[in-house]
Structure 1
Amino acid sequence: MPVMRSLLALPLLVLAEPALAHGLFDAHLMERLPLLITAAILGSAWLLYLIGARRVPPRRAESACFHIAMLLAVFSIFGPLDDWAEVSTSLHMTQHMLFIIVIAPLWALARPLPQWRSVTGDIARPLWTAILRSGRYPTALAVLHGAIIWIWHTPQLYILALENLWWHAFEHACFLFTAWLFWWSVLHANPRQVPQALMAVLLTMIHTGLLGALLTFGTTPFYGESRDLADQQLAGLIMWVPGGVLYLIGGGWITWRWLARMWRRQQTGQRPDTLGGSQGQ
């Protein structure tokens, strides 16, 4: 199976760059503890999904989204991109955008909660309940996710994350978790929440575009004099243009899904209320 071959290749991917500054295995093993914890969390989430998929089989498309997202997460966090991001603002931005507009929406489309819940049972029920309830508030999650983006792109915290592995791991967790909640709330919005979901996507597109523009048109390096200004401007364009395109695609998908439901309602003569329901997985 392609997925199983990918999983078997995962250790080779991790071990391919043993000398990387952020590599999992090197002479300073204890200094890499944040990365080992990150690897344990990702590995556990992946394993729980595989076990849960035997109990609650997911759709093929959802399963593919989950495994692709996990492979991209491993590559982004443990692959050479993380090392290159230390010295290049544009590659650092590429890493962040992979988290925010590629991996997180793939996780949202994968809808992995039924698989995880089938394994954890009552142990993690409060966590899954909190996540499900938070999905009812796409605008609030957009504000939370936007605050995280701006906070971690301030010069002080940006440099702190580069110099300290604990803060580096926490930064990645903030991006991934808040982006997953944001995309899950907007991509799975019920008909009553569609206006909020579209507003959340528009708000996110505007403020990330503004941050990208600030980086693009900045006349001095924001993240230290050793950083190349042209590289910073390229980083701004990466956030501004590809990010804007994906947010537009996300908004279009939400609108298409809403219109498709309206069309089905007209064809079957159902009332709008019957197509709403609560948001869940």
Structure 2
Amino acid sequence: MPVTRLPLRRAIAITLAAIVLPAPAHAHGLFDAHLLDRAPLLLTAVVVAAAWLLYVLGARKVPPRRSEALCFHGAMLLVVFSVFGPIDDWAETSTSWHMTQHMLFIIVIAPLWALARPLPQWRGITGRFAQPLWTGIMRAGRYPTLLALLHGAIIWIWHTPKLYVLALDNLWWHAFEHACFLFTGWLFWWSVLRANPKQTPQALMAVLLTLMHTGLLGALLTFGSVSFYGEGRSVEDQQLAGLIMWVPGGLIYLIGGGWIAWRWLTRMWRRQQTGAAQEELG
């Protein structure tokens, strides 16, 4: 374990340092000429760093599985890349890059967080201080369909033209938009990927519902003949954005639904095997 932790800590330290290093070439840099205007980004950096640090400290008390730790650290690296990297600047002028950023939040980072199961580590370090929050998250996970509706509403609301442009023009709304995608996406994937056998039909319905409405939104953007988000954005770029949501997004939801169904069938098969073995013994 000590051999594998050192590179991991070094990678985390380098990544966190990259968040706060001067980046004058980036429109969203933390330490450019208008630092006060970048307060939302600074706050975002603090939240990301705190969540990551709490997980690392909590992992000492509640050691996670190696696969879960890899999922969490990989997701956090992608958060840093998506929010503070060049993709955020490209998203200001390109609808397709903006969609790429959103899809990273929704279908990559959020399910990785769900697979990582970070709550035991966070609870291990926060104790009773944040217990109501963790309890609320655990209870919310019992309702996959409801969380799918909430997550779907967030996706559609933030892709309406007025709010889309508002998030581009105002960094506070931009940060809030990102938080909405990440938090509701995490809750959605948590509820469907961690569903117990009784909740599996609801989880499959939630994934199917999300696949259908995101595909519809992607199709609207793909076949739109005018730019929905202003004259400065080309229709071709918007159509590419729609394809990014429609095709890769649909593939991820299909994979997620297939994985849920496979777990369900595997459990049923094991129960049948166990029942058959007990009958033979009886």
The interval holding the TM-score normalised by the smaller chain is over 0.9
Residue 22, structure 1, aligned to residue 28, structure 2:
yes
Q: How does 1:78-227 map to 2 (within 5 A)?
A: 78-227=84-233
1:52 to 49, 53, 58: 58
Structure 1 contact 13–79 (Cα < 8 Å) conserved: no
The corresponding residue for 2:270 is 264
Rounded to whole Å, the distance in 2 between the matches of 1:11 and 1:194 is 38
Q: Which residue of 69, 75, 82 maps to 2:75?
A: 69
How far the C-alpha of 1:268 sits from its partner, in A, is 2.4
- Name stretches of at least 5 consecutive residues in structure 1 with no aligned partner: 271-281
Q: For structure 1, which segment, 102-111 or 13-22, has the greater mean C-alpha deviation from structure 2 after superposition?
A: 13-22
Q: 8, 29, 35: which one pairs with 2:13?
A: 8
Per-residue CA deviation, residues 148-178 of structure 1 (Å, 9 max, x unaligned), is 0000000000000000000000000000000
Q: Which amino acid aligns with 1:8?
A: A
- In 2, Cα distance between equivalents of 1:63 and 1:247: 23
Please list the CA deviations of residues 2-32 of structure 1 after superposition, one character each: whole Å capped at 9, or x if unmatched.
Answer: 4223212214533373331111111211111
1:119-140: CA deviation from partner (whole Å, max 9, x where unpaired): 1111111100100000000000
Query: TM-score if structure 1 supplies the norm length?
Result: 0.94
Equivalences, count: 270
- Measured in 2, the distance between the counterparts of 1:129 and 1:13 equals 33
Q: Identity across aligned pairs (percent)? A: 75
Amino acid aligned to 1:201: V
- Counterpart for residue 274 of structure 1: none
Quote the Cα distance in structure 2 between the aligned partners of 1:190 and 1:125.
22
CA contact (8 A) 2:211 2:250 kept: yes
Give the superposition deviation at 1:69: 0.1
Partner of 1:279: none
Give SS of 1:269's match.
helix
Letter in 1 for 2:15: L
Q: State the distance in 1 between where 2:224 and 2:63 align.
A: 50
2:137–2:187: 8 Å Cα contact kept in structure 1? yes
Of stretches 6-15 and 92-101 in structure 1, the one that deviates more from structure 2 is 6-15
Structure 1 runs of 4+ with >3 Å offset: none
**d(CA) in 2 for partners of 1:52, 1:170:** 27
Query: Could you tell me which residue of structure 2 aligns to residue 235 of structure 1?
Result: 241
- SS where residue 226 of structure 2 aligns? coil
Q: What is the alpha-carbon distance in structure 1 between the residues aligned to residue 125 and residue 267 of structure 2? A: 33
Letter in 1 for 2:115: L
Distance in 2, matches of 1:259 and 1:66, equals 27
With the length of structure 2 as denominator, give the TM-score of the two structures: 0.93
Cα shift at 1:211: 0.2
Structure 2 unaligned residues grouped into runs of 5+: 1-5, 277-282
Three-state SS of the structure 1 residue aligned to 2:92 is: coil
Whether the aligned pair in 1 keeps the contact of 2:106 and 2:182 (CA below 8 Å) is yes
CA distance in 2, matches of 1:53, 1:12: 21
Q: Is contact 1:113-1:128 (8 Å) kept?
A: yes
- Which of 244, 248, 256 lines up with 2:250 in the alignment? 244
Cα RMSD (Å): 1.2
